[in-house]
Amino acid sequence: MESYGYLFDLALILIATKFFGVITRKFAMPQVVGALVAGLLLGPACLGLLHETDFMDRLSEIGVIVLMLTAGMETDIVELRHSGKSAMVIATCGVILPLFGGALVASLFNGNGGQAVLQNYFVGVLLTATSVSITVEALREMGKLSTKSGNAILGAALVDDVLGIVALTIITSASDSSVNMLLVMGKIIAFFVLSLVFGVFAHKLFERWMLFYKNEKRRFAIIAFAFCLIYSYLAEAWFGVADITGAFIAGLILSNTTRVTYLANRFEILSYMLLSPIFFANIGAKVVIPQMNGELVLFTVLLTLVAVVTKVIGCGFGAKLCKYSNQDALRIGVGMISRGEVALIVANKGISSGLMKEEFLAPLIIMVVLTTIITPVLLKFVYRQSEEEDLQYSPITDQYEEIKNMDLATQTIADINDHARKKNEEKLFRRKKKE
Amino acid sequence: MESYGYLFDLALILIATKFFGVITRKFAMPQVVGALVAGLLLGPACLGLLHETDFMDRLSEIGVIVLMLTAGMETDIVELRHSGKSAMVIATCGVILPLFGGALVASLFNGNGGQAVLQNYFVGVLLTATSVSITVEALREMGKLSTKSGNAILGAALVDDVLGIVALTIITSASDSSVNMLLVMGKIIAFFVLSLVFGVFAHKLFERWMLFYKNEKRRFAIIAFAFCLIYSYLAEAWFGVADITGAFIAGLILSNTTRVTYLANRFEILSYMLLSPIFFANIGAKVVIPQMNGELVLFTVLLTLVAVVTKVIGCGFGAKLCKYSNQDALRIGVGMISRGEVALIVANKGISSGLMKEEFLAPLIIMVVLTTIITPVLLKFVYRQSEEEDLQYSPITDQYEEIKNMDLATQTIADINDHARKKNEEKLFRRKKKE
């Protein structure tokens, strides 16, 4: 009889993630934080209203794939080359330090024997990926997005994502101890090299195909989705590489095509209407609070501290290497602190592959929430001193505005349509009256 | 290891349904037909690439709920009252005749003992719901949508959907023989009466809430979705009424709110990006061809004939009752022939509740495909003779254009955005060159 119970669960997830998302937004935090809180509340840790099911797991996996696809599409490869060396240096320093810092903290609580080493480095990987959206929002509000430091943050965050994916790929592939490490590395290299060769070709093919039509077509989004799913599948099936890596690369291939704004808009709708609420709720439903003892609290505190400090020092050091001023180096470091969905996505992957200890999930989520909360506060502080700014133009800045504009414009059109309809109805009504 | 195999299945579904959808579109048939063909090909009846799984079943159930929600939202209740009596009379005659005609044909092959009576009437219910989209397309192409007969078809098709839902509700609720028939009818009546009372209230609440904001907001679509899911759930859980009935009523409640175009657009995207391909593929995957023997072929032929003839005569008779000319009565009858998603959705419901004999599925699908193919052909024929037409204005006609316009406008905006970005990039490039 209760075969339709999942309808109610789904409704609950949609309402709760939106409700808490709106609340966190009110406090100038990203909606992700609210969605996570909703998941925690609904999950077994608090109310116990949601239960992990195979259905939710699969749907949340598709959600993750769509999120990574979008992340890839928003990574402007051409811009990556433009912003070039300094972004690369800043990002690399800002990835290496958290990687080893995270592994060190984990080893204090997890030991160093056998599988533990991989588990510790996995915690390090979790600390690598910056989630730049909150920084972008904060800088935009302050009108500091188009500054020298703002551009450096955006560029470095792009490279950061790619480096994080590489680190994830290596560690997940290495986790299967039954296979030869040399073979694993060979497969990873083969995957990236083949992706590069095939990617250039596929990118051109997509561009030509999509330009063949004068207008945007549904088929663009549908075929792009299928392409991404196949890429994810083959990454796992042929190369032993995580499916989310495949999805990210598929996104990279689609980025910089003429229709990418249309595609991103479609996937965003698919994501917020169904998939990403399920993902966040599912993450929340995996957290088990009773395991939080004194040791884990200490771990949480240390993890958060290390996450903040290693990013600020790593990126700041990278910025100094690139001859940024002390002030800008600090700003860049602070701008890279916040972690977000990518850390959660990677953690989710780690749990299903056994690389992530389940009791590390709650500390990780707390770390994500805390870094997200403090980043805008610290940003306001480090940007306060400046009186005059060298405003810099960059196309990346634009791209973040576009999808927003598109949504807004769609709204306007809906308004116009509704207005026209109302007017027509009145016309008809008057005509009927006359008769 | 094959835990990620469903990613590949999903990609296959997306590609195949789109591919065949585009092909059928080329032949002036709706994409639904192509999607069905894709499902048949991928399913166990042909290639056997897809298998019914719990995951696909649930996702396709959500897809059906979204389809019915959209159908409800597109049913303009105010217009229903406007188009009033004649639409009501035409639709009622066009529902009663197919209902009994279908039951009669089924009884020839299924007998009349015990459960068989319900199964036969279920076949009748399957024949009731007209799918007007193909007729709208055909009439629009011929420029006959805003004629007296065109308006009558649209109005009757709206009423038709509601009557079909009522018939479905009664028969599915009656299928559980363990309960008292009086109680069942009482519950159905309670459901509709409470829906009416609550609906008026909820409609006003939604309208006020959505008008509270100046712009369209994501939360409108998300909360509307959650509302629909809860309505569907409660219909099943409290009243024993099919969840799709609940979804349709939820759509009715949302219809005629100021933001309905925005909502419909969002659900359409969710639908074509993921849910409805899965639904059609899943329907196709339920068909088992080897059971098609001579008797079933005869059944298929009779079913299709009865579907066509009862609609034409039923609706035509209704139109004559309302004093339409002979020519217009024929046109209205022909315009109501085509069956589509609603018949399939109801069939799907019937299979899971045991009311629908599985071997009737293939004939039903063939009937849907055939009526869809012949409707535009016959329409061209019956509309050919007319030289001058009394063009009539109606707000329903507009509504069918709106969502299309909205999609088009979104495309234009994407173009503008892309263009602006390209220009910016060139600007940057030139600036860099100067430096």
Question: Measured between CB atoms, which of B18, B54, B258 is closest to A418?
Answer: B258
- Across the interface, whether the CB atoms of B418 and A270 are under 8 A apart is answered no
> Do A62 and B7 make contact, defined as CB atoms within 8 angstroms?
yes
Note whether A11 contacts B229, CB cutoff 8 Å.
Answer: yes
CB A25 within 8 A of CB A34: yes
pLDDT score recorded for residue A422: 54
Q: Rounded to whole angstroms, how far apart are CA atoms A285 and A278?
A: 10
Out of B227, B230, B421, whose CB is closest to A402? B421
Q: Which helix (H) or strand (E) holds A167?
A: helix A148-174
Report how far residue B356's alpha carbon sits from residue B364's, in angstroms, rounded to the nearest whole number. Answer: 11
pLDDT, tens digit only, all 435 positions of chain A: 347 888 999 999 999 999 998 998 888 777 777 888 888 888 877 788 876 678 888 998 899 899 889 888 887 777 667 667 888 899 999 999 999 999 999 999 888 877 788 899 999 999 998 887 778 777 877 878 778 888 888 888 878 877 888 888 888 777 766 667 778 788 888 998 999 999 999 999 999 999 998 888 889 999 999 999 999 999 989 988 888 889 989 999 998 888 898 999 999 999 999 998 998 888 877 776 655 678 888 999 999 999 999 999 999 999 999 999 999 999 999 999 988 778 888 888 888 888 888 888 889 988 988 888 888 889 888 988 654 555 555 555 555 555 555 544 554 555 555 555 555 555 555 555 444
Inter-chain CB proximity A215 and B424 less than 8 Å: no
Can you name the residues that pair with A391 across neighbouring β-strands?
Answer: A147
- Residue B177 CA to residue B191 CA, distance in Å, equals 19
* pTM score of the predicted model: 0.79
| Cα(B326)–Cα(B104) distance, integer angstroms | 28
Q: Do A393 and B417 touch (CB under 8 A)?
A: no
Task: Give the separation between CA B250 and CA B345, rounded to whole angstroms.
Answer: 17
- Residue B406: predicted pLDDT: 52
Backbone angles phi, psi at A39, to 5 degrees: -60, -45
- Put simply, the answer to whether A273 touches B270 (Cβ < 8 Å) is yes
Nearest residue, CB atoms, B413 vs list A219, A269, A406: A406
Q: What is the pLDDT along chain B (435 residues), one digit of tens a residue?
A: 347 888 999 999 999 999 998 998 888 777 777 888 888 888 877 788 877 678 888 998 899 899 889 888 887 777 667 667 888 899 999 999 999 999 999 999 888 877 788 899 999 999 998 887 778 777 877 878 778 888 888 888 878 877 888 888 888 777 766 667 778 788 888 998 999 999 999 999 999 999 998 888 889 999 999 999 999 999 989 988 888 889 989 999 998 888 898 999 999 999 999 998 998 888 877 776 655 678 888 999 999 999 999 999 999 999 999 999 999 999 999 999 988 778 888 888 888 888 888 888 889 988 988 888 888 889 888 988 654 555 555 555 555 555 445 544 554 555 555 555 555 555 555 555 444
Determine the residue of chain B that is closest to A225 in CA distance.
B11
Give the residue among B360, B289, B293 at the shortest CA–CA distance from B127.
B360
Residue (of B137, B100, B156, B162) closest to B324 by Cα position:
B156
Chain A nearest C-alpha distance from B311 (Å): 30
Structure-token pair, residue B404: 């299309």
Please answer yes or no on whether B424 and A398 come within 8 Å at the CB atom.
yes
Q: How far apart are alpha carbons A410 and B416 in whole angstroms?
A: 13
Instruction: Tell me how far apart the alpha carbons of residues B10 and A229 are, in angstroms, rounded to a whole number.
Output: 8
- What count of other Cβ atoms lies within 10 Å of the Cβ of residue B419? 11
Cβ contacts (< 8 Å) between A420 and chain B: which residues? 398
CA B303/CA B405 separation, integer angstroms:
38
Contact between chains at A410 and B216 (C-beta distance less than 8 A): yes
The DSSP annotation for B39-94 comes to HHHHSTTTT------HHHHHHHHHHHHHHHHHHHHHS-HHHHHHHHHHHHHHHHHH
Do the Cβ atoms of A411 and B5 come within 8 Å? no
Q: Which residue is listed with tokens 């399913």?
A: B43
Q: In 10 A of CB A27, how many CB atoms?
A: 10
**Nearest residue on chain B to A78, judged by CA atoms?**
B425
Q: Which of A233, A273, A348, A397 to mutate to test the interface with B (most CBs of B within 10 A)?
A: A273
Chain A residue numbers with beta carbons less than 8 Å from the beta carbon of B222 are 14-15, 18, 272-273, 277
Nearest to A393 among B266, B410, B428 (CB): B428
pLDDT score of A114: 75
Q: How many CB pairs under 8 A join A and B?
A: 216
Interface contact B269-A274, CB threshold 8 A: no
* Substitution target from A15, A413, A435 for chain B, most B beta carbons within 10 A: A413
What is the least distance, in Å, from the CA of B315 to any CA of chain A? 25
Complex-level ipTM beyond the 0.90 threshold: no
Question: Would you state the structure tokens that stand for residue B181, as one six-digit string?
Answer: 């028939």
Q: Show residues of chain A in contact with B411, CB under 8 Å.
A: 215-216, 262
The pLDDT score that the predictor gives to residue B167 is 85
What's residue B413's pLDDT? 53
- DSSP for B320-360 reads HHTT--HHHHHHHHHHT----HHHHHHHHHHHHHT-S-GGG
